Amino acid sequence: MEKRVDIFRLMYNEKKLQTALVYPSQETQKDPYEKNKTISYLNPIPIKALIMNVSPEAIAWKYYGQLPTGSKQLICEKKYLGLFKIADKIVINNEEYKTYKDDQKGFQLLERDDYLVIVLRKVM
């Protein structure tokens, strides 16, 4: 597919993109018998993305499960797919968010042809 219009460059020129700090994490097992785990956060990686609030009505109709109020929807370039798979904490405007992980260690991520849509939940 030939890419004629780069939507992220247009949004960057229009100053619609915001900076999100993505913290990759590394999980280590402390005790193999009790299955205790510790999470170590690595240095944050700043990315530019289109960040929008998600209303409770949209969550009920578009996404599975229940997300707390204050959830965000983040639209970013497809090259950050691997980064979000290992991320555990995202900071936007000094507010902490987490990737919404389910029981199968996945999270709400929609992969499109040119971009990613990620749903984040606010840490209370």
**Over residues 7-31, mean pLDDT:** 89
Helix (H, G, I), strand (E, B) or coil at 3: coil
**Residue 31 sits in a domain of what CATH number?**
2.40.10
Question: E strands within 9-114?
Answer: 18-31, 36-41, 45-53, 72-77, 87-92, 95-99, 109-111
How many domains does the chain fold into? Answer: 1
pLDDT for the residue 105? 46
Helix (H, G, I), strand (E, B) or coil at 15: coil
Residue 2 lies in a domain: no
Output 84 or 55, whichever has higher pLDDT: 84
Residue 11 lies in a domain: yes
pLDDT for the residue 64? 54
pTM of the entire predicted model: 0.78
Residue 109 lies in a domain: yes
**Over residues 113-123, mean pLDDT:** 85
What tokens appear for 84 in the block?
């979000």
pLDDT beyond 70 at 122: yes
Q: CA 16 to CA 71: how far, in whole Å?
A: 19
Domain that holds residue 30: 7-122
pLDDT > 70: percent of the chain = 80
Query: Rounded to whole angstroms, what are the CA distances from 59 to 46, 47, 56, 64, 105?
Result: 26, 24, 5, 8, 20
Confidence of residue 63 (pLDDT cuts 50, 70, 90): low
**Over residues 30-42, mean pLDDT:** 89
